[in-house]
A and B are shown apart, each in its own frame.
Chain A
Amino acid sequence: MRQIHLQSELAPYLRGDLSAAERECVARHLEGCARCRADADAFAAMLKTVALESAAIPEPDWSDYRAELYRKIAARRAATHTPVHARWWSPRLAWTSIAAAGAAVGAIVLVLTLGPRPEPGGAPPVEQLAMEDAIGAADVGLLRDYPVVEHLDLLENYDVIEHLDELTPADTINEKRS
């Protein structure tokens, strides 16, 4: 038959941390189990060694320790009470900046995607008009160089122009003479 060992009960047993019933149970087990008895002895020695080692830890200079502690507390309080505008950086400021930058990028994307677009048959964009004006101005400059432009009044008689094909050469000459 397999024996059940009460391993995790040994340390509380040694400290006197068990109830009367549990203590009785462990004591009875230890009487009949050499392995657990050896473990209990080893654990008791180990607990004693650890306690002695901890007791040997040198203590710091307590006045230094306390002075340093109060300096740390004062520094933390000063940091907590510094107004946000006095600090060049703060988590709140960083998050606000990131949110503002994100909103700006979003607005630009929105305008570019949903904003008014030039329709195929609609008015040309402003840049195109400006370019056409420049070309037109250049044409006018060229026309000024032609001698015929100086006599444009000849073309002001629109009736004649409309019936040019009906005129005989003689009519044209008479017209000119009159």
Chain B
Amino acid sequence: MVVQSDEELCRKVAEHDAAAFEALLGRHQARAFRLACSILGSEADARDVSQDAFIRLFESAGKFDGRSRFSTWFYRIVVNLCIDHKRRNKWWRRMVPFSNPDDDPDLPPVDPPSSEPGPEAAAIGAQAGRRLRVALEGLSPTQRAAVLLQTDEDLSGREIAEILECSESTARVHIHRALTHLKKTMKED
């Protein structure tokens, strides 16, 4: 059986091929959700936003011109929707500060799903995770997207620049500023 490329499948989605859409959904749902969750910091928001990205794909697959890779085009949709979502909810987040059940100092630390690390290592890991989430909150949506595209998707600077619709040097600056901020915030904590 010949495996069709993402680009071929996208062209078929533009011709209203439901099976092609199903195939693309299967290939990219986990990555789209994880990327949205990393940028937004909320599983519920990530679910909505990543689904919105697939709705865009379903409705606008014809706009994919094939000049870039499908993944670049699709992650641009995901990232733009995440950035829009963050900006829309900015005023609300100022009123209701970012919170997580893990932030409550009275609650015991939640063990990670894996049983490999011991309780102490798990507690340290959970604490580091909390600190990192707080540090990530301080980044702009674009900086956060830039660093997560490198770490999660292992994309090159050129690909990140294409997704963020900026120059490669600007993408590098976004990543550098994000890492500097994370380093500083984690050190302060």
When the two chains form their complex, are residues B51 and A72 in contact, meaning their CB atoms are under 8 A apart?
A: yes
| Chain B residue nearest to A10 in the complex (CB) | B176
Q: Quick check: B34 and A54 within 8 Å, CB to CB? A: yes
* B113→A58 contact, CB < 8 A: yes
Q: Give residues 126-179 of B contacting A (CB, 8 Å).
A: 128-129, 132-133, 136, 147-148, 150-152, 154, 156-157, 169, 172-173, 175-176, 179
The 0/1 profile, CB within 8 Å of B marked 1, for residues 25-63 of chain A is: 000000000000001001100110111011011111010
Instruction: Name the interface residues of B75-101: CB closer than 8 Å to any CB of A.
Output: none
Chain A residues positioned under 8 Å from B33 (CB to CB): 57, 59-60, 65
Chain B CB within 8 A of A24 CB: no
Q: Which chain B residues (87-122) contact chain A, with CB distance < 8 Å?
A: 112-113
Are A8 and B148 in touch, CB under 8 angstroms? no
Q: Are A66 and B29 in contact (CB under 8 A)?
A: yes
Considering only residues 68-111 of chain A, those with a C-beta below 8 Å from chain B are 68-69, 72-73, 76
Residue from B29, B133, B179 in contact with A11 in the complex, judged by beta carbons closer than 8 Å: B179
Cβ of B8 < 8 Å from any Cβ of A? no
- In the bound complex, CA of A149 to CA of B180 (Å): 116
Residue on A nearest B186 in the bound complex, by CB: A46
Which chain A residue lies CB-closest to B21? Answer: A73
CB distance B179 to A43 under 8 Å?
A: yes
Does A136 interact with chain B (Cβ within 8 Å)? no
> Is residue B65 within 8 Å, beta carbon to beta carbon, of the partner chain?
no
- Which residues of chain B are near A9, meaning CB under 8 Å? 172
Question: Cα distance A43–B177 when bound, in Å?
Answer: 11
Question: A39 — which chain B residues lie within 8 A by C-beta?
Answer: 180, 183
Does A15 interact with chain B (Cβ within 8 Å)? yes
Q: Name the residue of chain A whose CB is nearest to the CB of B181.
A: A46
B147 and A50 within 8 A (CB): yes
Which of B37, B59, B176, B182 is the one whose CB lies under 8 Å from A7? Answer: B176
Q: Name the interface residues of B7-60: CB closer than 8 Å to any CB of A.
A: 25, 29-30, 33-34, 37-38, 43, 47, 51, 54-55, 58-59
Q: Are B43 and A66 in contact (CB under 8 A)?
A: no
Q: B13 CB to closest chain A CB, in angstroms?
A: 12
For A73, the chain B residues whose CB sits under 8 A away are 55, 58
Contact of A49 among B55, B132, B150 (CB under 8 A): B132
Cross-chain contact A65 with B172 (CB below 8 angstroms):
no
- Nearest A-chain residue to B174, judged by Cβ: A8
Question: Contacts of A57 on B, CB cut-off 8 Å?
Answer: 33-34, 37-38, 43
In the complex, which residues of chain A have a beta carbon less than 8 angstroms from the beta carbon of B58? Answer: 73
CB distance from B176 to the nearest CB of A (A): 4
* Cα–Cα, bound, A55→B139 (Å): 19
Query: Measured between C-beta atoms, what is the minimum distance from A20 to chain B in Å?
Result: 15
Known: A15-B150, A49-B132, A62-B29. 19 other contacts (CB 8 A): A7-B180, A8-B172, A11-B150, A11-B176, A12-B172, A12-B175, A39-B183, A46-B179, A46-B182, A46-B186, A50-B136, A51-B152, A53-B38, A54-B37, A56-B113, A65-B47, A66-B29, A68-B47, A69-B25
The chain A residues found within 8 Å of chain B, CB to CB, are 7-12, 15, 17, 39, 42-43, 46-47, 49-51, 53-54, 56-60, 62, 65-66, 68-69, 72-73, 76
Q: List 10 A-B pairs, minimum CB-CB distance, nearest first.
A: A51-B151, A8-B176, A8-B172, A50-B151, A11-B175, A54-B152, A43-B179, A69-B51, A54-B38, A42-B183
